[in-house]
Structure 1
């Protein structure tokens, strides 16, 4: 049985990217997730316990995360939870691992620019996600597109161009 979990936190180590002898890309890093709560008696936010996870991604997610995620980034991920007990001569403990299915920056803490990768054979091309979703957006006059936005359209903050959602 595999448990699915969603976690947000801080990337605590530089992502380590390797490619196995069989050609399987793997990227892993440690994630610190600290829950915050509001202490009503002191009228302030306080940190709770920090949970530590080892995050591992494979294949295209490993390649994309190795080039996109860095130490100190705030991320959100969903994956399969694996809890493993370990023991050696001196010590014992528990490893909590998450095999990531999806991973991205936590936009609660900042902004990001998305660039989709398209893999065809051994070649990988990258282009803006908006190229396919909004082909007609380039034809709109940026100066007055926001004024002509209809219901059901999202107006871009920076450019003012209307895009259907």
Structure 2
């Protein structure tokens, strides 16, 4: 089955909600997209389409910090639809976009970019560390079993 990707612009219709299920960041928000169409020589608003947008991990964190209700945004992501039954018994369809990219629509206003910080990494000279390991004496190395697991001392072994 092929995935359908869409790109659209519109206005954020609610506050961004953030959750952290199983330690993975996710946000959800709705976007209203209303096209301008020309009918009989006059420009008018077309029908508004509402999209439910979700984003995960780092993108979710950045959206949580950047996007607010009423912001003009551009969204690109994978489109799917979900049918559900309303309380009155009628069937409705929701358009859901799992976002790959989200940004402010700069045709509608200005924005200021702040680079996200990356998780801290140890700044280790890999070549120096490898050379140190190669030149270490056998008595300085951790004993390993045939599976590459560190072999414990006799005191680490369970009693028989």
The question of a shared fold, defined as TM-score above 0.5 by the shorter chain, is answered with yes
3-state DSSP class of the match of 1:60? helix
Aligned to 2:95: 96
In the TM superposition, 1:62-141 aligns within 5 A as: 62-87=60-85, 90-121=89-120
3-state DSSP class of the match of 2:27? strand
Report which structure shows greater RCO (CA 8 Å, sep ≥6). 2
Q: Which structure carries more strand by proportion?
A: 1
Aligned length: 119
C-alpha deviations, 1:126-158, integer Å up to 9, x for none?
xxxxxxxxxxxxxxxxxxxxxxxxxxxxxxxxx
3-state DSSP class of the match of 2:112? coil
Aligned-pair distance for 1:84? Answer: 1.5
Q: Which structure carries more helix by proportion?
A: 2
C-alpha deviations, 1:39-79, integer Å up to 9, x for none?
443xx421000001100000000000011000000000100
Of the two, which has the highest radius of gyration? 2
The one of 44, 47, 54 aligned to 1:46: 44
Aligned to 2:154: none
The gaps in structure 1 that reach 5 residues or longer are 123-165
- Measure, in 1, the Cα distance between the counterparts of 2:78 and 2:32: 17
- Measure, in 2, the Cα distance between the counterparts of 1:51 and 1:6: 13
Aligned to 1:131: none
Aligned-pair distance for 1:95? Answer: 1.2
Aligned-pair distance for 1:88? Answer: 5.7
The gaps in structure 2 that reach 5 residues or longer are 122-160
Aligned to 2:28: 28
Structure 1 residue 3 corresponds to structure 2 residue 4 = yes
3-state DSSP class of the match of 1:14? coil
